[in-house]
């Protein structure tokens, strides 16, 4: 059964409201900031869901761990030991903005459960055949 354009628009609005209620308004804003809707509302919803999962990953310890694991697979430090972490060095001229000289990207909240739930939801919707073939592919 394929849902109508209006159905998908309603589902997208519902999802955005739930995301904001969950305290993730900043992430919703990031995902929708440059969002251009298309002719396919189903594709728009799928795009929102995919971008939401990625945006959560960028704020999650699981995203940091995945990044660190990838570095450790292919990069070594000069003494031959594994990479210990990833950090942002704040330039002197930016110190006034951030109030610190170093930000460790390891200091992330673990959002792996919500990411996993949303990935499962995305998979379930795709397997239910709710989207056009072009979108699902």
> What is the per-residue binding string for other proteins in 5-34, x denoting contact by CB under 8 A?
--x--xx--xx--xx--xxx-xx--xxxxx
H-run or E-run covering 115: helix 112-127
Is the Cβ–Cβ distance between 44 and 3 less than 8 Å? Answer: no
Tell me how far apart the alpha carbons of residues 116 and 133 are, in angstroms, rounded to a whole number.
24
Site for other proteins in 97-116 (CB under 8 A): 98, 103, 105, 107-111, 113-116
Kindly state the smallest distance separating residue 48's Cβ from other proteins, in Å.
10
Is residue 130 close enough to count as binding other proteins by CB under 8 A? yes
Site for other proteins in 43-62 (CB under 8 A): 47, 50-51, 53-55, 57-59
Tell me how far apart the alpha carbons of residues 64 and 74 are, in angstroms, rounded to a whole number.
16
Is residue 37 close enough to count as binding other proteins by CB under 8 A? no
Tell me how far apart the alpha carbons of residues 48 and 46 are, in angstroms, rounded to a whole number.
5
């Amino acid at each position: 059964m394929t849902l109508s354009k209006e159905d998908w628009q309603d589902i997208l609005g519902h999802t955005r409201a739930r995301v904001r209620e969950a305290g993730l308004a900043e992430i919703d804003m990031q995902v929708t900031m440059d969002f251009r809707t298309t002719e396919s509302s189903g594709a728009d919803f799928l795009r929102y869901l995919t971008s939401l999962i990625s945006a959560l990953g960028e704020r999650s310890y699981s995203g940091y761990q995945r990044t660190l694991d990838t570095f450790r697979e292919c990069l070594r430090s000069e003494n031959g030991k594994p990479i210990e972490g990833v950090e942002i060095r704040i330039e002197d001229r930016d110190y006034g903005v951030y109030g610190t000289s170093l930000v460790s990207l390891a200091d992330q909240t673990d959002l792996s459960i919500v990411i996993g739930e949303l990935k499962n939801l995305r998979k379930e919707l795709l397997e239910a055949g709710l989207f056009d073939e072009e979108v699902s592919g």
